[in-house]
Amino acid sequence: MPHDGVIGPHPHAHHHHHHRHDDTASPRHAPTRRAVLAAGAGLLASQVPVVAEAQVVERMARAAIDWLAMLDEKRRAQAVIAFADAERENWHYVPRSRRGLALRDMSESQRARAMTVLESGLGRGGMAGPTISACTAPRR
């Protein structure tokens, strides 16, 4: 048969289907109990980080609200920076000049509450480093 330029199977080619077309699942393809349990466990495990993250966000929000509530109006105005403000990204690993409320300008109880905000996000392990505790001491 001459080639007509159409790409595809040869018109006389036979296609054999070797699978069943009825709605009953063969035992060979039926999901095993173990496979179903494994899939369910995987689904549950994938939700754990989402739940844990939501709990961290809730703890941090509560700690931040409590900390802001104990600041006077002047200190609160210094402490709050709009999310869209470029100053929000002005941070570094070493102290340098930036807007905001410095730990040294807070009372001892305000500093303790500010550390609670950090701990709520970092956890006790993240707060164990000497850098954080050194920052809480007032400058002389």
pLDDT at 55: 86
pLDDT at 38: 72
d(CA 106, CA 137): 10
- Neighbouring residues of 67: CB distance < 8 A, sequence distance ≥ 6: 110, 113, 114, 116, 117
| Regions of the chain with pLDDT less than 70 | 1-31, 40-51, 126, 128-140
Q: pTM of the prediction?
A: 0.53
